[in-house]
Amino acid sequence: MSDRRAFFKKMGLLGLSGIATKLVSNEQLNALESLGKEAVQTNPFTLPALPYSYNALEPFIDEQTMTIHHTKHHQAYVNKLNETPSTNIDFQVDDMTKCKNIDQYSSSVIRNNLGGHVNHTLFWTLLKPNKETKANLPSGKLAEAINKEFKSFDEFKKLFSEKALKHFGSGWCWLIEQNGKLMITTTPNQDNPLMKVAEQQGKIVMALDVWEHAYYLKYQNKRADYIANWWNVANWQKAEELYISK
Ligand SMILES: [Fe+2]
């Protein structure tokens, strides 16, 4: 058993490791591993600090929403993980084929709370303050790939916005890479494209939280307005890092 595999087994996260081994970049695997290491060190999972202040994404995402989203919603996923004895996280399976039924094994603990922890940890890094007046656009290899796949950034933006808007209920909209191809997909609740239950699996490049808790205080029922404003604070530098990571 490799060190990494042994580590995940010890953490009760072997199923996640198995998924990650096939589908996740090393960077994302390292991020997941570091989430697990928190539990090795102190056995609580901990809330990561935001890389900017709560009001830094104003006026596009407001301070109150960011504060509550981070300190209440994300914290709640972390708390729930910590309240659950690791023996109850039924994820210690050596047989990777069982991970196809991750929802069956994970119950709400792994699927919802670890999913919520992983998704939000990634999401915070995929946002960045934008006080500039110039357009916020991807560059480099990611820009080339988007243009190749979707013909133009504007077309990609239209398709991603539509997909995020039409996703029914709580969930996430993702830009993922699968076998060299960029795809837009959504997942319900706190599922993500790293999970085998996801309709489309792949490496996460960009993420948008479309839970009402991500926008309701400022935008109420107008998810379309939240999405339209989110484009201003999407962190394309981080997305390109994820895209080119192996
Ligand atoms: Fe959220």
pLDDT for residue 14? 36
Q: How far, in Å, is the centroid of ligand 1 from the Cα of 94?
A: 31
The angle that helices 26-42 and 14-23 make with each other, rounded to 10 degrees, is 160
Which backbone phi and psi does 156 adopt, to 5 degrees?
A: -60, -45
In 3D space, the residue among 119, 105, 112 whose CA is nearest the CA of residue 12 turns out to be: 105
- pLDDT, mean of each 10-residue run, the chain (246 residues): 40 36 46 44 71 96 98 94 60 33 57 85 94 86 97 98 97 95 96 86 94 97 97 96 88
Distances (CA, A) of 227 to 12, 86, 146, 242: 36, 37, 19, 21
- Please name the residues in contact with 40: beta carbons below 8 A apart, sequence gap of 6 or more: 7, 10, 11
In 3D space, the residue among 44, 20, 45 whose CA is nearest the CA of residue 30 turns out to be: 20
Domain range summary for the chain, segments of one domain joined by +: 3-50+62-125, 140-244
110, burial (CB in 10 Å: exposed 0-12, middle 13-18, buried 19+): buried
Q: Which stretches within the chain are classed as H helix? A: 3-11, 14-23, 26-42, 63-68, 75-83, 102-108, 115-125, 140-150, 153-166, 216-219, 223-230, 236-244
Angstrom distance (rounded) from CA 124 to CA 150:
26
Q: How far, in Å, is the centroid of ligand 1 from the Cα of 241?
A: 22
Q: How far, in Å, is the centroid of ligand 1 from the Cα of 190?
A: 9
Angstrom distance (rounded) from CA 9 to CA 12:
5
Q: How far, in Å, is the centroid of ligand 1 from the Cα of 211?
A: 6
Tokens matching residue 28 = 């994302």
pLDDT for residue 96? 30
The three-state secondary structure class of 71 is helix
Confirm if 182 and 205 have CB atoms less than 8 A apart. Answer: yes
What residues does the ion ligand 1 have nearby, CB within 5 Å? 209, 211, 214
- The pTM assigned to this predicted structure is 0.79
Q: How far, in Å, is the centroid of ligand 1 from the Cα of 120?
A: 6
Tokens matching residue 146 = 């988007």
Angstrom distance (rounded) from CA 207 to CA 146:
15
Fold classified for 140-244: minor pseudopilin epsh fold (3.55.40)
Cβ atoms within 10 Å of 10's Cβ, excluding its own:
14
- Please name the residues in contact with 157: beta carbons below 8 A apart, sequence gap of 6 or more: 231
pLDDT for residue 114? 79
pLDDT for residue 28? 55
Q: Residue 184 corresponds to which amino acid?
A: I
Q: How far, in Å, is the centroid of ligand 1 from the Cα of 126?
A: 13
